[in-house]
Structure 1
Amino acid sequence: MSVPLAYLGIILIWSTTPLAIQWSTQGIGFALAVLARMAIGVVVASLVIALWRIRIPLHARARRAYLVGGLALFGAMVLTYWGARYVHSGLISVLFGLSPLAAAILGAIFVGERSLTPMKLLGMLLGAAGLATIFIHGDSLGHASALLGLAAILAAVAIYSGGLVWLKQIGDDSPPLATTLGTLSVSLPFFGLVWWLGDGQLPAVVPPRAGAAIAYLGIFGSVIGFAMYYYVIKHLETSKVALITLITPVIALFLGHWFNGETIGLRLWIGTALILLGLSAHQWEMLSGFRRRA
Structure 2
Amino acid sequence: MRVALAFFALVLLWSTTPLAIKWSGEGPGYLFGAMGRMVIGLACMLPALLVMRQKLPLSTKALSTYLAVALQIYGAMLSTYWAAQFIPSGWISVIFGLTPMMTALMAAVWLAEKSLSPVKILAYLIGFSGLMVMFGSALEIGRESALGIAAVMFSAFLQSASSVWIKRVNSKLPAVCQVTGGLLIAVPLYIATWFCMNGQWPETLPATSLVSIIYLGAIATTVGFALYYYVLIHLPATQVALITLLTPILSLLLGNAVNHEPLSSKVLIGTALIMSALLLHQSKLSGRKRQKAALKKRA
TM-aligned CA deviation for residue 59 of structure 1: 2.5
Aligned position for 1:50: 50
Aligned position for 1:147: 146
- For 2:133, the aligned partner's letter is T
Are 2:158 and 1:163 aligned?
A: no
TM-aligned CA deviation for residue 182 of structure 1: 0.7
Residues in 1 aligned to 2:120 and 2:57: alpha-carbon distance in whole angstroms: 36
TM-score after normalising by structure 2: 0.93
Residues in 1 aligned to 2:254 and 2:282: alpha-carbon distance in whole angstroms: 26
Aligned position for 2:228: 229
Aligned position for 1:91: 91
- C-alpha contact (below 8 Å) 2:13/2:220 kept by paired residues: yes
Residues in 1 aligned to 2:142 and 2:157: alpha-carbon distance in whole angstroms: 24
Provide, for residues 98-140 of structure 1, a one-character-per-residue CA deviation record: whole Å limited to 9, x for no partner: 101111222223333221122211111110010011111247x
TM-aligned CA deviation for residue 220 of structure 1: 1.8
The alignment partner of 1:145 has SS state of helix
- For 1:127, the aligned partner's letter is G
- C-alpha contact (below 8 Å) 2:67/2:185 kept by paired residues: yes
Matches within 5 A, 1:138-287: 138=138, 142-287=141-286
TM-score after normalising by structure 1: 0.94
- C-alpha contact (below 8 Å) 1:108/1:114 kept by paired residues: yes
Q: Report percent identity of matched pairs.
A: 38
- C-alpha contact (below 8 Å) 1:238/1:286 kept by paired residues: no
Residues in 2 aligned to 1:56 and 1:234: alpha-carbon distance in whole angstroms: 22
TM-aligned CA deviation for residue 204 of structure 1: 2.9
Tell me the number of residue pairs that the alignment of Structure 1 and Structure 2 aligns: 292
- C-alpha contact (below 8 Å) 1:120/1:283 kept by paired residues: no
TM-aligned CA deviation for residue 153 of structure 1: 0.9
Residues in 2 aligned to 1:2 and 1:115: alpha-carbon distance in whole angstroms: 33
Residues in 1 aligned to 2:190 and 2:13: alpha-carbon distance in whole angstroms: 22
Aligned position for 2:74: 74
Are 2:86 and 1:65 aligned?
A: no
Residues in 1 aligned to 2:278 and 2:146: alpha-carbon distance in whole angstroms: 23
Structure 1, unpaired ranges of 5+: none
Provide, for residues 65-118 of structure 1, a one-character-per-residue CA deviation record: whole Å limited to 9, x for no partner: 011211232110111100100011000000111101111222223333221122
Residues in 1 aligned to 2:286 and 2:113: alpha-carbon distance in whole angstroms: 20
Residues in 2 aligned to 1:64 and 1:138: alpha-carbon distance in whole angstroms: 37
- For 1:93, the aligned partner's letter is S
Aligned position for 2:297: none
- For 1:18, the aligned partner's letter is P
- C-alpha contact (below 8 Å) 2:16/2:251 kept by paired residues: yes
Residues in 2 aligned to 1:203 and 1:138: alpha-carbon distance in whole angstroms: 30
Residues in 2 aligned to 1:277 and 1:180: alpha-carbon distance in whole angstroms: 31
Residues in 1 aligned to 2:60 and 2:68: alpha-carbon distance in whole angstroms: 12
- For 1:115, the aligned partner's letter is S
Provide, for residues 123-171 of structure 1, a one-character-per-residue CA deviation record: whole Å limited to 9, x for no partner: 11110010011111247x6322111111111111111111111111111
